[in-house]
Amino acid sequence: MTRVGVAGAAGRMGATVCAAVEGADDLELSGRADPALGVELADILDGCDVVVDFTTPDTALENALACVRAGVHAVVGTTGWDPSPLREFGPNPPANVFIAPNFAIGAVLMTRFAVEASKYMAKAEIIELHHDRKLDAPSGTAARTAELMEGEVPIHSVRLPGLVAHQEVILGDVGQTLTIRHDSTDRTSFMPGVLLAIRRVGELPESPVIGLEHLL
C-alpha cells in the first residue's frame, strides 16, 4: 500500500483527492493537512510515501521543498507558482516532484491539438474560464498551452460562479477559424490523472517533471 497524504485536504480539490485515494485499493489515505483542519503538513509527513498538494500559489513551493527534504514524493496540482528552486536538489534528489497544471486527460489532448494546429494557422488566442474563487490568472493550463504553441498567443481570463475549468483555443487564418475546447464539468475529471501520478512519481527518471503528458 502506498501511504498518501493530502495538503489542502479541506479545499475543493483536496477533498475530491481524499475521496479518490480512499476509493483506491492500492492506496491508503495517511493524513489530511490543511490550516482549516488545524493540521500542518509537517505533522503528517512522517507517515507518508507521497503527498498530493492542492493548496495556494504562495504555499506550493514551500510544501514541495518540505516533502523533498523529508524524502517524501510530491504530486502538485496547485497552479500559479514558480517551480525552478526545485531543480537545486540536482540529479539525485531525496524524493521526486511531479507537477501538472491540469490532470484531466481531455485538457492534455486539447493542448496537444492546439500546439499541432498552431504550426499551420496564422494566429491564435486563448479564452480560459474558471469559477470565481480561483486565485491565479491566467490559468496554469492556459499559460502552458500558450508557451508550447507557435507565435504570441494572448490569453483572456473569465471568472464566474457556475464554471469549473474550461478552455477554448481559437485559431484564425484567411476566411476560417478553428476552435478547440475542453470542459471540466466536475472535479472528478482530474482524479484518474492524480491517481496515475501518485502511482508513478516514485519512479520518475528526473525531478521535477512537469505535465501529465509525460506519464501517458
Ligand X SMILES: NC(=O)c1ccc[n+]([C@@H]2O[C@H](COP(=O)([O-])OP(=O)(O)OC[C@H]3O[C@@H](n4cnc5c(N)ncnc54)[C@H](O)[C@@H]3O)[C@@H](O)[C@H]2O)c1
Q: Find the helix or strand (DSSP H, E) in which 50 lies.
A: strand 50-53
Q: Which is nearer to ligand X, 63 or 145 (CB)?
A: 63
**96 contributes a contact to ligand X by CB under 6 A:** no
Q: Which is nearer to ligand X, 41 or 45 (CB)?
A: 41
**103 contributes a contact to ligand X by CB under 6 A:** yes
Question: For 69-96, b where at least 16 C-beta lie within 10 A, e where not — what string?
Answer: ebebbbbbbbbbbeeeebeebeeebebb
Which candidate, 212, 196, 141, 181, places its Cα nearest to that of 21? 196
Which candidate, 136, 124, 99, 127, places its Cα nearest to that of 183? 127
Distance CA 148, CA 115 (A): 6
Q: Which is nearer to ligand X, 79 or 96 (CB)?
A: 79
- 67, 75, 117, 134: residue in contact with ligand X (rule CB under 6 A): 134
Distance CA 100, CA 206 (A): 15
Q: Which entry of 73, 119, 123, 130 is annotated as an active-site residue?
A: 130
Q: Which is nearer to ligand X, 33 or 48 (CB)?
A: 33
Least distance in angstroms from the C-beta of 151 to ligand X? 25
Distance CA 22, CA 41 (A): 19
Q: Binding to ligand X (CB under 6 A): which residues in 137-196? A: 165, 190
- 28, 59, 210, 211: residue in contact with ligand X (rule CB under 6 A): 59
- For residue 79, how far is the Cα from the chain centroid? 6
Least distance in angstroms from the C-beta of 147 to ligand X? 16
Which spans of this chain sit near ligand X (rule: CB under 6 A)?
7-8, 10-14, 33-36, 41, 54-56, 59, 63, 77-80, 100-103, 134, 136, 165, 190
Q: Which residues are catalytic?
A: 130, 134
